[in-house]
Amino acid sequence: MTDAQSYYDGLISQGYTPDQAVTYTQQYYPDFQAAPAQPAAPISPAAMPAPAVMATPQPMVSTPSEEGGIDIMAIAAVVCIALALILSAVGQFNGSWLNSDADETGQSSSSGLRTVTLDCSGITNETTQLACMQMGISILSEGMTNASIAEMTEKFSEETAVTGSMSDYCTNLYDYTIGMITLGETMTSAATGTTVEFTEERTNATAAKTSCDEGVSAGSTGGIVLWVGTVVALAALVFAILGMVGVALPGGIESHGKWVSLASGVLMVLAVLVWYLMLPSSEGSTMGASTGVFITVFAAVLSIVSGVLGIVGGMSKSS
């Protein structure tokens, strides 16, 4: 039966149906009976890859880092340089870098980098105060012309102090002094019948004019240096703000804002020193440093503090 079964299986493998295979097999093996087909074991389906379960995205919780949050030092540096910028501009236009106490009549004076102020508010007598104002308007007018005097009179008609250009003050005061000396010489010559010349007075007037012009030069030079310091402070403020908000400039120049702040502070101090050293000799003078000097020095200190804060803040971040 083994040969018959093998023959049968061969027919099945060739594609014959079971009935056909039995019929053909029985032709050679009459006693052959097809064995009942054994139930085939069910073929287990191929394991399908289970779909990956997508994890539900959890909200990212950022843990605060040392570099995150508010940079107090950066903010403080910005505030300091901003205040320094404002105060340096105030110092530039302040009209009281030098100030004198009121004299016995109540009149006082002050000067800025480019201006002079004559204050008659301390004079109690109205007539004397009016004469003081008229004198101040004439001395501080441009060229002491009638038109400029009229313009100044209208401008300060209700004031008790008058302010004008220092260069006009120096020129007008010299011209006024020489005029009075000439008048004195003329009157004395007429009274004595001889030519009289007040040589010493003329020499003193010329020396006073030279000294006054030195003050003008000191104010102009100091003002120029202070302007440079103010512009540098403005650049430092821009760099500090850009660095604080994370804006990068070509070459990372915004990171040098702290050094720019220090430079602006040095320039402001230098402006005061240049102005002071160029002033004429103060021997016997009643003028002393006043508000404008202190404002500018304070601005310089704030600029330097801003730079130091930037340096310390950078060191703390890198460590």
Q: Give the residue with greater pLDDT, 256 vs 178.
A: 178
The pLDDT of residue 53 is 44
pLDDT tens sequence across 4-38: 778 778 777 877 788 777 777 777 777 777 765 44
The pLDDT of residue 54 is 46
Averaged pLDDT for residues 200-223: 94
Q: How many Cα atoms sit within 13 Å of 177 on the Cβ side?
A: 18
The pLDDT of residue 56 is 44
Give the 3-state DSSP-derived string for the chain, with helices as H, strands as E and coil as C. Answer: CHHHHHHHHHHHHHCCCHHHHHHHHHHHCCCCCCCCCCCCCCCCCCCCCCCCCCCCCCCCCCCCCCCCCCCHHHHHHHHHHHHHHHHHHHHHHCCCCEEECCCCCCCEEEECCCEEEEECCCCCCHHHHHHHHHHHHHHHCCCCCHHHHHHHHHHCCCCCEEEEEHHHHHHHHHHHHHHHHHHHHHHHHHHHCCCCCCHHHHHHHHHHHHHHHHHHHHHHHHHHHHHHHHHHHHHHHHHHHHHHHCCCCHHHHHHHHHHHHHHHHHHHHHHHHHHHHHCCCCCCCCEEECHHHHHHHHHHHHHHHHHHHHHHHHHHHHC
Name residue 162's beta-bridge partners. Answer: 118
Q: How many Cα atoms sit within 13 Å of 178 on the Cβ side?
A: 12
Query: What distance lies between CA 126 and its chain's CA centroid?
Result: 48
Round the CA-based radius of gyration of the chain to a whole number and report it: 50
The pLDDT of residue 35 is 67
Say if residue 314's pLDDT is above 90.
Answer: no
d(CA 127, CA 220): 36
pLDDT tens sequence across 216-253: 999 999 999 999 999 999 999 999 888 887 777 777 77
Query: What distance lies between CA 274 and its chain's CA centroid?
Result: 23
Name residue 288's beta-bridge partners. Answer: 99
d(CA 258, CA 239): 8
Share the mean pLDDT of the chain. Answer: 84
Averaged pLDDT for residues 118-136: 92
The pLDDT of residue 256 is 82
pLDDT tens sequence across 102-119: 888 889 999 999 999 999
Averaged pLDDT for residues 162-186: 94
d(CA 307, CA 262): 5
Q: Residue 39: pLDDT band by 50, 70, 90 thresholds?
A: very low
> Are β-strands 287-289 and 161-165 bridged in parallel, bridged antiparallel, or unpaired?
unpaired
d(CA 83, CA 314): 21
The pLDDT of residue 252 is 72
Q: Which of 58-67, 180-189, 239-248, 263-272 has the highest mean pLDDT?
A: 263-272
Q: What is the crossing angle of helices 291-318 and 72-93, to 10°?
A: 160
Say if residue 46's pLDDT is above 50.
Answer: no
Return the closest-CA partner of residue 85 out of 212, 250, 220, 257: 257
Q: Give the residue with greater pLDDT, 104 vs 58.
A: 104
Evaluate the CA torsion angle 216, 219, 225, 228 in order and state its sign: negative
Q: Give the residue with greater pLDDT, 204 vs 70.
A: 204
Dihedral, CA atoms, 166, 125, 152, 147, nearest 10 degrees? -110
Least confident interval from 55-64, 198-207, 263-272: 55-64
Q: Residue 63: pLDDT band by 50, 70, 90 thresholds?
A: very low
Say if residue 43's pLDDT is above 60.
Answer: no
Strand order in the sheet with 108-111: 161-165, 115-119, 108-111, 98-100, 287-289
Using CB atoms within 10 A of its CB, is residue 271 exposed (0-12), middle (13-18) or buried (19+)?
buried
pLDDT tens sequence across 135-173: 999 999 998 999 999 999 999 988 999 999 999 999 999
